[in-house]
Amino acid sequence: MEGLKTNRRIEMQILSASVEILNQLESILEQIHSQDFSRPSVLLSGSTIGQHLRHTLEFFLCLEKGFKEGVINYDKRGHDKRIESDKSLAISAINKISHFVASHPIDKALGLEVGYEHNSERCCLISTNYYRELTYNIEHAVHHMAIVKIGVREVAPYVILPDNFGIAASTVRYRDTLINQA
């Protein structure tokens, strides 16, 4: 019985973290002006907030597609330039992902297709599962959110970000421990 409780607790943490990240990304879209969403950032080497957001969302979309097919390949993303420049399309993608995550709370065995040879399309298939890949997407999103935060501060400083935006949960806990010890 304890194992079942543990699995449910894990499931709720992963799903809750996914929803929180998607909500935070949507909050940026609701606040940022369209021209700033696609404005190149000097601090981001010319990339845009929209590009980082699109990249993050497309990983979640690859997971959704892979969940249905049984095999995920993050290299085969859509690279849909419209998502990085059209806020309404980005919000639609977030809503699609949120619906997928909410309606798929059960773990499932999957394959992860990866290829690291520069001169070949040859891939390897690695065993994984839905929860592991959802966890990877959370970590990947937090990483890109930290980059987005830098871009927002440069090109859209009027956007209000949550205090812990782009910061790993473990870092938040560590900071809280330091504050409590002071």
> pLDDT tens-digit profile of 123-142?
899 999 999 999 999 999 99
Mean pLDDT to the nearest integer, 15-31: 95
Task: Kindly state the DSSP code that residue 119 receives in the 8-state scheme.
Answer: T
Write down the pLDDT at residue 105: 85
pTM for the predicted model, two decimal places: 0.90
Q: What pLDDT sits at residue 6?
A: 58
What pLDDT score does 118 carry? Answer: 86
* CATH number for the domain formed by residue range(s) 2-181: 1.20.120
Q: Is the pLDDT confidence value at 57 over 60?
A: yes
User: Which residue in 82, 31, 79 sits closest to 56, CA to CA?
Assistant: 79
User: Looking at residue 121, what is its pLDDT?
Assistant: 84
* Contact (Cβ atoms closer than 8 angstroms) between residue 138 and residue 14: yes
Other CB atoms within 10 Å distance of the CB of residue 43? 12
pLDDT digits (tens, 9 = 90+) for 70-103: 999 999 999 999 999 999 999 999 999 999 999 9
Nearest-Å Rg of the Cα atoms of the chain is 18
Residues 6+ apart with CB under 8 A from 82: 89
